[in-house]
Chain A
Amino acid sequence: MAYLSVEALSKAYRRNEVIRDLSFEVERGEFLVVFGPSGAGKTVLLRLIAGMVLPDRGRVVLGGADITRDAPDRRDIGMAFQNFALYPHMTAYENIASPLRSRGMARAELDGRVHGAANLLRIDHVITHLPKALSNGQKQRTALARALVGEPSMLLLDDPLRNVDAKVRYEMRLELPRLLRARDTTVIYVTQDYKEAMALGDRIAVLGDGRFTQIGSPETIYNRPADSRIARLFGDPPINLLDARRDGAAELRVASNSVALPVRRSNTVASDCVLGVRPEDVAVSLEPVAGAVPVEIDAVTPLNDRQVMLLRADDGTEIFASRPQSEQIEPSAGNAHDGIGRGRRRAWATLDIERAHFFETRTGARLAEPALRPELAR
């Protein structure tokens, strides 16, 4: 049986159902990332599990015990908050010691545990400071130390890296799994950052409209998104969602152009659909290519080591493409330099249909895929 199991949980505020009939399970020691845009109900879900908010319906079962109506202080749950929620009138030491104080732990043991946690998170040198004297990174480490020191059976992390700078965020992203795995802690981690979700989660649960629209491994979510909204949330620049229509037996009409439909997809698409093509699956060429969509290059911006291009097809459809910075586009005749990004210019975009996602036009749901024939399966 799962360690935490949430059963048909619902919570409404003034008839607005924030959490709707939500069920899921987390195994002991698992790292589950709850991912969703702001306003999707992530924080409410955590508060329901923490016991700050009581559900209208449904149950929360932790370690075999029904804790749905238990007070927060009786749940054995640790939590770290996006805004740190440190006690401003207590030193970092007292902040970390707070979960131990509530148990009336002996002085010497308490002292050892607090210093142990502070050491682990490398804040032992600022332990006598008040929160206002700490940097944001140190504040978050203090908050994490406080959440960890009592060795709770369940850890809730509410977007804890949101308010720290990029360097600390990266460090913590590497450090957190190591810290948590060592203790075999069961974690629910909430974030709005898809990269964080992909980097940290054993599984990712995508929250939308009060329910999980997909739960799966990071690879599954990225490679087989359950609907077009999820596909759009994972990836930067976001996936291109292009309206497509069946055009004859073997062709799709996309951006007023005909694109060959792979044979194995011929049963997937009946009449029209939404074609999801990730920017990295759009190849840009300055020479005409068979089956490519003629486009104007509207804008080019660097993104880390990649180059992102905004392309505009002749009928106005916008398409993002990205390619490694180092990769040169074949220079056209009389132009030795690749010259992308200097004003508008003509190009041809080839959409990699083999790797594309097919979604239903009306609901955005992923269209059923035919099983791969054995000889094509890798």
Chain B
Amino acid sequence: MSSQLLRALRIVLMVMVGLFFLFPLLWVVLMSFMTNVDILRSPPSPFFVPTLRNYLALISGHLSTSSGNVQIDYMHNLLNSVILSVCSVVVSLILGVPAAYAFARYKFRGGEDMAFTLLSFRFAPPLLVLLPLLGYFQTLHLYDTYFGLVWVYQLITLPLVLWIVRGYFEDVSEDIELAYRLDGHGWLATFFKISIPLARPGIAAAGLLSFIFAWNNFIFALILGSSDVQPVTVGALAFITASGIEYGQIAAALVLSVIPTLVLAIFTQRYLVEGLSLGAIKG
């Protein structure tokens, strides 16, 4: 009897927790199909005539407000997000995976300090470094370039890749690598044919996590770029117009921007959980 009660209680609690976290998401999805009038109605009502206006406005780039038409290139922001995130992850993997291997396998002077320094980039509040960085970027003509932003994004993605993948490399048995060397294969072949395939789950997890972190970044692109290179997170700001806030379009923009990471997360959940927990324990 009491165990049945407990079970019922547990279900109720889980539903409550689920609602707490999912309701805002659900409401955003609903909002994206509403007009501003429906959204601002008080009390709010879940009954309304759905409209695709918000999405059409986003895709076409024409935003009609009470004070006239505004051009918004949200699709360009979406493309920027893809370019910035993909490039950042690719660069981080190219730099971070060999570095992680070095940190895992070889004990060299200052190695631990270097690894920790890279991790410490994650501790500093971004705002602290952004203003001096802006100065550098303007001098070096990196302001408002993809190259510059991908570079700064390494602050987010590189430590992540390094520390997660390092843990996986430490788990690869040295004997297996030695066996492959003794078979007559060089160190480079051993790295690509043995070490990398065996650390693949970790590399996948690190890549996915960095992609999500890069995708969600807001502050770097806000300060260090113009709308030409800015991602969706910053692009959504454009809907706060002189004549009011376009809640419907913001909601639709959010939905569009969440879709890529959501799809990624759903299909690679196993790697993500593994990478996060293992990386946390080993790191």
Residues of B within 8 A of A86 (CB): 176, 179
Asked if B175 and A73 make an inter-chain contact with CB atoms under 8 angstroms apart, the answer reads no
Asked if B181 and A87 make an inter-chain contact with CB atoms under 8 angstroms apart, the answer reads no
Does any Cβ of B come within 8 Å of A75's Cβ?
yes
Asked if A47 and B178 make an inter-chain contact with CB atoms under 8 angstroms apart, the answer reads yes
The interface stretch among B13-21, B113-121, B183-191, B269-277 is B183-191
Residues of A within 8 A of B197 (CB): 89
B239 CB to nearest chain A CB (Å): 49
Interface centre among A47, A72, A77 (most CB of B within 10 A): A72
Residues of B within 8 A of A343 (CB): none
> What size tier do the contact residues of chain B reach?
10 to 19
Q: Tell me the bound Cα distance from A77 to B182 in angstroms.
A: 6
Asked if A72 and B194 make an inter-chain contact with CB atoms under 8 angstroms apart, the answer reads no
Q: Tell me the bound Cα distance from A120 to B37 in angstroms.
A: 82
Can you name the residue of chain A whose Cβ is closest to the Cβ of B186? A73
Residues of B within 8 A of A79 (CB): 178-179, 182
Does any Cβ of B come within 8 Å of A146's Cβ?
yes
Does any Cβ of A come within 8 Å of B198's Cβ?
yes
Can you name the residue of chain B whose Cβ is closest to the Cβ of A104? B184
Known contacts A87-B194, A89-B197, A89-B198; is-contact A81 B175 (Cβ 8 Å): yes
A93 CB to nearest chain B CB (Å): 14
B272 CB to nearest chain A CB (Å): 21
A162 CB to nearest chain B CB (Å): 13
Instruction: Count A-B contacts at CB 8 Å.
Output: 62
Can you name the residue of chain B whose Cβ is closest to the Cβ of A46? B178
B64 CB to nearest chain A CB (Å): 57
The interface stretch among A95-103, A171-179, A191-199, A283-291 is A95-103
Does any Cβ of A come within 8 Å of B174's Cβ?
yes
Residues of B within 8 A of A47 (CB): 178
Residues of A within 8 A of B218 (CB): none
Q: Tell me the bound Cα distance from A170 to B112 in angstroms.
A: 46
Residues of A within 8 A of B178 (CB): 47, 50, 52, 72, 79, 85
Does any Cβ of B come within 8 Å of A88's Cβ?
yes
Q: Tell me the bound Cα distance from A83 to B172 in angstroms.
A: 13
Count A interface residues, CB 8 Å.
25
B188 CB to nearest chain A CB (Å): 11
Asked if A83 and B186 make an inter-chain contact with CB atoms under 8 angstroms apart, the answer reads no
Residues of A within 8 A of B198 (CB): 88-89
Asked if B184 and A81 make an inter-chain contact with CB atoms under 8 angstroms apart, the answer reads no
Residues of A within 8 A of B174 (CB): 52
Does any Cβ of B come within 8 Å of A208's Cβ?
no
Known contacts A87-B194, A89-B197, A89-B198; is-contact A73 B173 (Cβ 8 Å): no
Q: Enumerate A48-100 residues with CB–CB distance to B below 8 Å.
A: 50-52, 71-73, 75, 77-79, 81, 83, 85-89, 98-99
Asked if A87 and B180 make an inter-chain contact with CB atoms under 8 angstroms apart, the answer reads yes
Q: Tell me the bound Cα distance from A52 to B173 in angstroms.
A: 13
Residues of B within 8 A of A52 (CB): 174, 178, 181
Does any Cβ of B come within 8 Å of A150's Cβ?
yes
Asked if A85 and B184 make an inter-chain contact with CB atoms under 8 angstroms apart, the answer reads no
Our pick among B180, B181, B183 for the contact of A71 (Cβ within 8 Å) is B181
Asked if B181 and A83 make an inter-chain contact with CB atoms under 8 angstroms apart, the answer reads no
B174 CB to nearest chain A CB (Å): 7
> Beyond the given A101-B183, A102-B183, could you list 10 further A-B residue pairs with CB under 8 A, ordered by the A residue number?
A71-B181, A71-B186, A71-B187, A72-B178, A72-B182, A73-B183, A85-B173, A85-B178, A87-B176, A101-B185
- A interface residues (Cβ-Cβ under 8 A, vs B): 47, 50-52, 71-73, 75, 77-79, 81, 83, 85-89, 98-99, 101-103, 146, 150
The 6 closest A-B pairs by CB, nearest first: A102-B184, A72-B181, A85-B175, A99-B183, A85-B179, A98-B183
